[in-house]
Amino acid sequence: MTQHDDHHHHHDHAHGEAGSELPDIALRVRALETILSEKGYVQPGVIDAIVETYETKIGPRNGAQVVARAWSDPAYLERLRQDATAAIAELGFVGRQGEHMVVVENTPRQHNLVVCTLCSCYPWPVLGLPPVWYKSAPYRAKAVIDPRGVLADFGVALPAETAIRVWDSTAELRYLVIPMRPAGTDGWSEERLASLVTRDSMIGTSLALPAGDAA
């Protein structure tokens, strides 16, 4: 596993096309979008709305179900630890960009943060489309150099005694953070628990929502 503790940075990436910011399919989609927009077949605003939906709602719902099951079922959590790709596939979430999954668990002693320092490797089957900020150079650089500062930028302040570990996604490994289960959720259904799991909490730039925010 490629990982970073505090300010230590070691990178051994294999991403396919060096320096490529988007997978081939995403480049083709973007080209098609541009052509259709120029010809007046679709409105850019409509496409933006669809992308936003898949980026923040539909896609992350898959990962939220994985987290909720892990919170609820110790046997499932253990399967995730042993073979996350297979355990995630049990829930039907498979496909390109999700072949080599690893889960990392937040605890009071350690918080996990995911980045891809060379491009934008991201677990599409469980998180949907990567947010723009995840692909940005400032996030990719600062997450390694100053992860606590990145969390502060996202409004997260952790106790000084909580260590922060940064995990660097590659074409071979993609990570899903299991955030800490919020207090006051004993006996909750998986569906209700999933409503507390956000995309950013599964990247590590935020925490799970408190119990009072349940849908």
Domain annotation covers residue 214 = no
Domain annotation covers residue 185 = yes
Domain annotation covers residue 64 = yes
Domain annotation covers residue 175 = yes
Under-50 pLDDT residues of the chain: 1-2, 6-22
Identify the pLDDT of residue 213: 79
> Structural domain tally of the chain?
1
* Active site residues per annotation: 116, 119-121
Range of the domain at 170: 3-8+21-209
Q: Collapsing DSSP states into helix, strand and coil, what is residue 111?
A: strand
Domain annotation covers residue 15 = no
Identify the pLDDT of residue 128: 85
Identify the pLDDT of residue 31: 76
Identify the pLDDT of residue 190: 97
Identify the pLDDT of residue 34: 76
Identify the pLDDT of residue 7: 39
At position 153, the amino acid (one-letter code) is D
Domain annotation covers residue 215 = no
Task: Give long-range contacts, CB 8 A cutoff, 24+ apart: 10-15.
Answer: 11/117, 11/118, 11/168, 12/170, 13/117, 13/118, 13/119, 13/168, 13/170, 13/171, 14/170, 14/171, 14/172, 15/118, 15/119, 15/121, 15/170, 15/171
Identify the pLDDT of residue 19: 37
CATH code for position 197? 3.90.330.10
How far apart, in whole angstroms, are the C-alpha atoms of residue 117 and residue 189?
37
Query: In this structure, are residues 103 and 121 in contact, taking their beta carbons and an 8 Å threshold?
Result: no
Identify the pLDDT of residue 124: 81
Domain annotation covers residue 132 = yes
Query: In this structure, are residues 80 and 87 in contact, taking their beta carbons and an 8 Å threshold?
Result: yes
Domain annotation covers residue 48 = yes
- Alpha helix (H) residue ranges in 113-169: 124-127, 132-135, 137-145, 147-153
